Structure 1
């Protein structure tokens, strides 16, 4: 799967423009939480999230492998991959979009709010989304952080009746990427 991820990143870099116009990470951190009060924490982290940003156009692509999400409990991870996300059938999540009014020359070490619009594909379903991200730049690194919600119904992720009261349909997603 790592090879697939690298091939996609390389293809994206080579097919659009010169590599100086691109910054990327393959070690971005994506965390999601679908916990509900009074039940076990439902939280996972993926420390191998990939992201490529075209610094000239503001176009951005994110890719994460579903099996790279790690849970506190191994059984939760197994259920996530086998029953809910069906990682063998839908191995990755993909975001393709654009940062509105992005201008790399105006970035500073102070985070600025930007709107990012695009499509999120998870579990074989695609949905238009718009999120707010904090973006800053220090030396040759662009920092991108965001906190947003996704709904499991939008991606046809079916939660069995036995766990519906224990897992939130509204999933909080946090991203923390350092792009070079």
Structure 2
């Protein structure tokens, strides 16, 4: 009987902790590595998971690399096979914290917050910092951030044949509404 009571209490505790987190599975990440005067190198993933703990400001996201869609199918194929090697490195993750985050102080007007954490991609991990615009909406908490990453920081080599057509400095934009 004691074991059943203990198990029931543990399940209740896990459920209570899980309710403290807000999440989405329909977040968006867009990246662009275009170079002027050449074909656009841009992709979007509309199925990114993001989890926010509104009490602590801890935030994490996960994007499947094969979820990025390009206008040109051949670019998508090259991205997955030659650049990010999606079969070997299927996902990209970010784990971090929103500094001085106070969910109770959020309003409909976006406020700038610093988000710091670790971005892992292509088997490499790097500390990054970005500014995020965060606001309260009818649908939850909206988080929008933009930052740059260097492909070579993550061991992603750009072949010399296309080096002048693809930027090593990649602009990344994230849009999440967690509920």
Task: Tell me the TM-score normalised to structure 1 length.
Answer: 0.90
> 1:153 offset after TM fit, Å?
1.1
For residues 18-97 of structure 1, the aligned pairs below 5 Å read 18-97=17-96
**In the alignment, what sits opposite 2:106?**
107
Structure 1's 15 and 83: CA in aligned 2 closer, same or farther, altered over 3 A? farther
The CA RMSD measured in Å over matched residues stands at 1.4
SS at match of 1:168: strand
SS at match of 1:34: strand
Whole-angstrom CA distance in 1 between matches of 2:167 and 2:155: 14
Structure 1 runs of 4+ with >4 Å offset: 14-17
Whole-angstrom CA distance in 2 between matches of 1:61 and 1:43: 23
Whole-angstrom CA distance in 1 between matches of 2:110 and 2:22: 18
CA contact (8 A) 2:94 2:118 kept: yes
Structure 1's 178 and 162: CA in aligned 2 closer, same or farther, altered over 3 A? same
- Residues 116-171 of structure 1 show CA distances to partners (whole Å, capped at 9, x for unaligned) of 00000010000000000000002450000011111001101001100110000000
Gaps of 5+ in 2: 1-12
Structure 1's 15 and 62: CA in aligned 2 closer, same or farther, altered over 3 A? farther
CA contact (8 A) 2:139 2:177 kept: no
Task: Tell me the TM-score normalised to structure 2 length.
Answer: 0.90
**In the alignment, what sits opposite 1:4?**
none
Gaps of 5+ in 1: 1-13
> 1:18 offset after TM fit, Å?
1.5
**In the alignment, what sits opposite 2:121?**
122
How many aligned residue pairs are there?
Answer: 167
